[in-house]
Amino acid sequence: MTSARRAGRFPGLVTVLLGVLLLGAACASGGPGASPSTSSTTAGAAMLDNPVLGQGADPFVTVVEGQYHQVFSTTDGHGVAMRSASSLATLSTAPEQQIIAGGSDGSPCCEWWAPEVHEIDGRWYVYVAADDGDNVNHRTYVYSADSVTGPYTFEGRLRLPGDRWAIDATVFAVGDASYVVWSGWPGATNGEQDLYLARLSSPTAVQGKVLRLSRPELDWETHAGSVGVLVNEGPAVLVRDGKVFVTYSGSGCWTPQYALGMLTADAGADLLDAGSWTKSPAPVFAPVEESGLYGTGHNNFFTSPDGRQTWILYHAVTNPEGSCGADREVYAQPITFAADGTPQLGTPSADPVPLPSGDPGA
């Protein structure tokens, strides 16, 4: 989330993941201002410098037929832009095109946050939160296109029960069922953000009951600083080896403790039953002092161009006090999996990383 996003939120201050495809895009400060990443050669291997996408927040990237596609909020926060490149090493400096203009076709004007792009039944959908200039009116909106690069058509608001504040929507599929997870207020006023899960009846509407999947209640996810708002947000999903894994960001992004938690369920269980889910008692990806990175959160996952690796993309700052502003940058690293399929995210690091497998480099 960008500084503009946070100021609005706190006045007074598919590729549906069928296995392992979800990735990151940036909000308003994370697009056109991004500084280039560079690649180098270390011990004969092509390396990619971190932060891989420079300045940015709430990253989302997807790989389609060997091409990386990054979506992010425009600098003015009034729309969504896209970059495309054949290598992660050149993505941050690739030409950008605006694919969504706020205020057109009856869409809201302002504060476009955390866009994601997913394929559902052969068509591409952008899910993004926006409002009319008043944060309390933030809702999630949907656009569709025949191609990942557009042109995109406005489909309207994602129809969620209660018509409440809703951001950070992501979608995934298990078998023939598609689901959406988002962050929302439990009531009509700001003070707490919870995670909610529902089944999709179409790419723009849900059916049946809504499950409150998680709320900030553990010590690690209740750091609220002077803002006082408790946060669960930024869900990302992996479906693997018969299990569903939902990572999410806990604590305020303005705090250095902003980190990732995980919820796990069997893919064959009733995902709308709270008893099907297990919440990890400790963060699964959190700041470590030796890395010099803080506020390591709002992740997404993507697969390497050859499909052999899964990578995590996340934003972080080097300010030990934490920050939700324009100083956030986007980092990436490969992850591994335990024998039972559980993602092993490792620890945040600013070190260079080898290029994703199948990536041709610059």
Annotated catalytic residues are: 58, 233
Report the SS3 class of residue 352. Answer: coil
Calculate the alpha carbon distances from 264 to 158, 243, 320 in Å.
Answer: 25, 7, 31
8 Å CB contact between 325 and 262? no
8 Å CB contact between 176 and 208? no
Calculate the alpha carbon distances from 224 to 1, 46, 85, 144, 207 in Å.
Answer: 16, 40, 38, 36, 33
ω into residue 343 within 30 of 0, thus cis?
Answer: no
Residue 32 has what DSSP assignment? T
- 136 pairs with which residues across the strands? none
Q: How big is the CA angle at 151 (ends 105 and 93), to the nearest 5 degrees?
A: 115
Q: Going by C-beta distance under 8 Å and a sequence separation of 6 or more, which residues neighbour residue 257?
A: 220, 223, 251, 286, 287, 295, 322
Pairing of strands 278-279, 45-48: unpaired
Q: Which amino acid is at 65?
A: E
